[in-house]
Structure 1
């Protein structure tokens, strides 16, 4: 059971890397409008580093929590910008959750999403409406918790949370940036989607692809 979970998570990070690479140019263009035009490149570097690191792990003995811990280290080492510590914190929080239960039960998947969001918020001190990645992660977490409490299956839960994340990312167009480099633009940041929120949607959609059928592990 533990071995299967580690393999699923390793594949999940590979799926995230592929998905980010496919959207790298779009993410960079979004960042070019309100930031340093490097978000797509940065995220690609980070998740490619994670994929490389996990490909060298012995998944016959690895645990789900150790996969997240290795991902955190690899991402942070590859990405020195603010995104690096944010996602490293997210992965370390998820690793802590998985220590108690190494399975990929639906409850654990929801706890994983909740923990990742908490890690990002605690590290970045962001709030809803700041026009950051949290404007996708917060609604995704809320949708996941609501779906689970309502007795939804994994497919419904993941559909609900990815839809909520996408709506949250889209809503950043109407926000004035309060954090990050985009905050320097003030009102001029209006009308542009936050690139961090956009990449969060890509990450969650890739996670869905890997995890929606794994809740029985």
Structure 2
């Protein structure tokens, strides 16, 4: 099971990288309105570095927790900006949590989302309403935990996660930035979606698609 789980997470990071690269120009354009116009480039470089390091692993020998640990180090090495430590901490939190459950069950997937949220919040000290990526990650994690409590299946859980993340990201356009470079703009940050929240949605969507594909493959093999 660990081999399949490790391979699934490797596929997940590949899918995230492809999705971020496709959104790179849009993310940088969003960042240009309130930041340094490099968010898309930074995120793309970070996930490319992650995949380069993961390519060196043998899925047959790797545990899911190790996939996230490697991703944390690679992302931090590639991205020196504030985003680097935030996602590195998110991946490390997920790695530690996976040591207690390497199954990638729906409950485990919910745990991953919440631990990533916790890592970002732990490192950045932010809250919902600060106009940051947490405005997508916090509601996404809440939706994940609520779905786990209600024993929703994976499809229902990820539908709730994505809806919450998208609503959260869109809500940042009506916020005044309280953290990061955008905070220097004050009221001028109004009317712009936070690029970090937008990229969080892209990451979560790629995660959902990966787990959905994995689930479909398992069901097909049983037919």
TM-score with structure 2 setting the length: 0.95
User: Within 1, Cα distance between the matches of 2:39 and 2:157?
Assistant: 28
RCO greater where, 1 or 2, for CA within 8 Å and sep 6 or more? 1
Residue pair 1:65, 1:95 contacting (<8 A) in 2 also: yes
Q: Identify the residue that residue 155 of structure 1 maps to in structure 2.
A: 155
User: Within 1, Cα distance between the matches of 2:101 and 2:178?
Assistant: 37
User: Within 1, Cα distance between the matches of 2:120 and 2:89?
Assistant: 6
Residue pair 1:104, 1:214 contacting (<8 A) in 2 also: no
User: Within 2, Cα distance between the matches of 1:115 and 1:212?
Assistant: 20
User: Within 1, Cα distance between the matches of 2:212 and 2:130?
Assistant: 30
Alignment of 1:48-59 (within 5 A): 48-59=48-59
User: Within 1, Cα distance between the matches of 2:157 and 2:102?
Assistant: 20
User: Within 1, Cα distance between the matches of 2:33 and 2:169?
Assistant: 15
CA deviation string 1:70-106 (max 9, x = no partner): 0000000000000000000000000001111211011
User: Within 1, Cα distance between the matches of 2:169 and 2:23?
Assistant: 15
Q: CA deviation at 1:56?
A: 1.3
Q: Identify the residue that residue 132 of structure 2 maps to in structure 1.
A: 132
User: Within 2, Cα distance between the matches of 1:198 and 1:213?
Assistant: 23
Q: Identify the residue that residue 142 of structure 1 maps to in structure 2.
A: 142
User: Within 2, Cα distance between the matches of 1:55 and 1:206?
Assistant: 19
User: Within 1, Cα distance between the matches of 2:63 and 2:147?
Assistant: 27
Q: CA deviation at 1:151?
A: 2.0
Q: Which runs of 5+ in 2 are unaligned?
A: none
Q: Identify the residue that residue 201 of structure 1 maps to in structure 2.
A: 201
- Count of matched residue positions in the alignment of Structure 1 and Structure 2: 217
TM-score with structure 1 setting the length: 0.98
User: Within 1, Cα distance between the matches of 2:170 and 2:98?
Assistant: 31
Q: Identify the residue that residue 45 of structure 2 maps to in structure 1.
A: 45
User: Within 2, Cα distance between the matches of 1:54 and 1:202?
Assistant: 20
User: Within 2, Cα distance between the matches of 1:3 and 1:52?
Assistant: 19
- Tell me if 1:62 matches 2:28: no
Residue pair 1:105, 1:214 contacting (<8 A) in 2 also: no
- Look up the SS of the partner of 2:191 in the other structure: coil
Q: CA deviation at 1:212?
A: 2.9
Q: What value does the CA root-mean-square deviation take over the aligned residues?
A: 1.2
CA deviation string 1:166-199 (max 9, x = no partner): 0000000000000000000000000000000000
Alignment of 1:111-126 (within 5 A): 111-126=111-126
